[in-house]
Structure 1
Amino acid sequence: MEQDIRYNQPIIRYQGGQLIEMTDDYVTEFPLTVNVNAHEFATVICSPNHIEELILGFLASEGVIMKRDDLLQLELDEQRGYAYVKINKDIQQLNYLSTKRLVASCCGKSREFYFQNDAAIAKTSMTTIRVTPQQILHMMAQLQAHSETFKATGGLHNAAISDGKDFYVHRQDIGRHNALDKLYGYCIQRHISVRNKILIFSGRISSEILIKAAKIGVGIIISKSAPTTLAVQLAKDLNITAVGFVREDRFNIYSHPERVTDTSSSRTYNNKTAQ
């Protein structure tokens, strides 16, 4: 059984010139150690919900597994905070992926990755998906509407994956990477193709988040916050449409605007715009 990701506890609040006894919600922080083929692989600090999805997504984004069938067994000991995973590979041959640093060019261009598994696993998007401005605004509104725990605690990252229409799955975690891994794990568990999907994210689009999106394989990422300069350059190189500052009735497109089609306007954008 999954643990509660938030607790209501007594606090002292200073407000209106007074110290007041009251209760408040805050989030659970849970260390999860992942053992793969009897070798300790990583410890993830996470929110203790959708843990199997998190493990699948994390292992896939690290290149330990490539598909659901690579996973032979997964056992959880939530009391001790351990996950025991068996895969159909020799984990000792994969250990370098988490530790060895390499500066390698991205897609033959000038951008740089900092870890070898990023360079090996991040995918240039081949998506054919197109979205309208109205779909972008609606998806962000959905994310905001599903963020009840964040509203209560202020301590979580929220993320969702969607096709812009009927398919929409929301996850949250204290770790921004974890929230995305849970979505990836959800799709891996159910053999759902991510190629023509969209990531919706509550936080800043950093280079790490952009690389995570590329590892998942989506072609569009939208956020209510800003991107960084390196994230935008990576998005251009990896053929990912990055959309930021999605708020109320506006947003900014930073890369590959050709995927955003405005049916209310005759103006078109080619793939050189915002390059």
Structure 2
Amino acid sequence: MPEKYTIPYPARRVHSDGRAENTEVLLAKECPVKLFLDGKPFTTLFASPLELKELAVGHLITEGVLSFTEIAGVEVEGNEVHILTKKEKSSVQYELPREAAREAGKQIFVNSDTVFDPEALFAGNGYLESDTYKLTRGTHLAALIDREGKLAVQIVDVGRHNAVDKVVSTALLRGLDLSQHYMLSTGRQPAYMVTKAARAGIPLVATKAMPFDSGVEAAKKMNICLVGQLRQESMLVFANEWRVNTT
């Protein structure tokens, strides 16, 4: 499958000792994806050219535009995704401004008492790299992992936010209980990214990177545990530490 995410490109490699040669490398593909709600243009996302249905559904959910139950149907036509909703057309807010999204995020609270053993989190290190990343060094990854440390869903995309949207949608379409899984991400975690997980009801987010202070503060308010710098030997727990069982 990595070949569906990549495209070969010619390049010239120049070495520090003055040598140079022509070569060919694999780059990650990116394409514009146009979303339509009830026949009206909603937004354009730039993403990897796969799982476009999942991208659209997940984006609407994690941006707070629709709930999963408010989606009546989804059709993909090339790089266009048409979503039919069950809401009154006048009640759908198009192109939700980022500031409005931040304000809405202040009211989000993950109502879950799920706790994870450290072993389940450390197991996430085994799912942090994809074949596509190894080939291109140009993609992000998001995954959902259960309380036993077993991989449930893993998605690759050129955008960290797209990967999150796709993994949330894939899990919901499969009927998974998101409150019993944690999200693993290769990307940094500002408030915007943490809010996406909160809207989906995910109780813990772990990343190999370091979160931003805005992400930590958002996680505290939304009852999410935020783990950063996940490594084989250690991890840093920044918010709602009670979700990691260290007793």
Deviating more after overlay: 93-102 vs 69-78: 93-102
The equivalent position to 2:128 in structure 1, one of 123, 143, 154, is 143
The equivalent position to 1:88 in structure 2, one of 86, 89, 96, is 86
Encode CA deviations 1:167-222: one digit per residue, 9 max, x unaligned: 52110111111100101111221222211210001111111111111111111111
Aligned partner of 1:259 in structure 2 is 243
Q: Residue 65 of structure 1: SS of its match in structure 2?
A: coil
Once residues 24 and 159 of structure 1 are traced to their aligned partners in structure 2, the CA distance between those partners, rounded to angstroms, is 24
Once residues 198 and 252 of structure 1 are traced to their aligned partners in structure 2, the CA distance between those partners, rounded to angstroms, is 15
- Please show how residues 7-86 of structure 1 align to structure 2 within 5 Å: 7-15=7-15, 16-67=17-68, 69-78=69-78, 81-86=79-84
Structure 1 or 2, whichever has the larger Rg, is 1
Deviating more after overlay: 223-232 vs 131-140: 131-140
- Please show how residues 156-171 of structure 1 align to structure 2 within 5 Å: 156-165=139-148, 166-171=150-155
Once residues 223 and 169 of structure 2 are traced to their aligned partners in structure 1, the CA distance between those partners, rounded to angstroms, is 23
Aligned partner of 1:249 in structure 2 is 233
Aligned partner of 1:5 in structure 2 is 5
Once residues 22 and 64 of structure 1 are traced to their aligned partners in structure 2, the CA distance between those partners, rounded to angstroms, is 45
Identity of aligned residues (%): 24
Once residues 251 and 71 of structure 1 are traced to their aligned partners in structure 2, the CA distance between those partners, rounded to angstroms, is 38
Once residues 192 and 256 of structure 1 are traced to their aligned partners in structure 2, the CA distance between those partners, rounded to angstroms, is 23
Once residues 241 and 163 of structure 2 are traced to their aligned partners in structure 1, the CA distance between those partners, rounded to angstroms, is 26
The equivalent position to 2:166 in structure 1, one of 169, 173, 182, is 182
Encode CA deviations 1:117-145: one digit per residue, 9 max, x unaligned: x446xx3122222222222111122223x
Q: Residue 86 of structure 1: SS of its match in structure 2?
A: strand
Shift of 1:45: 0.5
Runs of 4+ residues over 4 Å off in structure 1: none
- Structure 1: gaps spanning 5 or more residues: 103-112, 263-267, 269-275
- Please show how residues 183-262 of structure 1 align to structure 2 within 5 Å: 183-262=167-246
Once residues 228 and 260 of structure 1 are traced to their aligned partners in structure 2, the CA distance between those partners, rounded to angstroms, is 20
Alignment of 1:98 onto 2:108: no
TM-score, scaled to structure 2:
0.91
Q: Residue 74 of structure 1: SS of its match in structure 2?
A: strand
Once residues 206 and 52 of structure 1 are traced to their aligned partners in structure 2, the CA distance between those partners, rounded to angstroms, is 25
With over 3 angstroms needed to count, the CA separation of the structure-2 counterparts of 1:115 and 1:17, relative to structure 1, is farther
With over 3 angstroms needed to count, the CA separation of the structure-2 counterparts of 1:100 and 1:156, relative to structure 1, is closer
Once residues 39 and 94 of structure 2 are traced to their aligned partners in structure 1, the CA distance between those partners, rounded to angstroms, is 16
Q: Residue 195 of structure 1: SS of its match in structure 2?
A: helix
Point out the structure with the larger helix share. Answer: 2
Encode CA deviations 1:141-168: one digit per residue, 9 max, x unaligned: 2223xx1111211111111011132452
In angstroms, what is the RMSD of aligned CA positions?
2.1
Shift of 1:96: 5.2
TM-score, scaled to structure 1:
0.82
Shift of 1:97: 6.1
Q: Residue 138 of structure 2: SS of its match in structure 1?
A: coil
- Structure 2: gaps spanning 5 or more residues: none
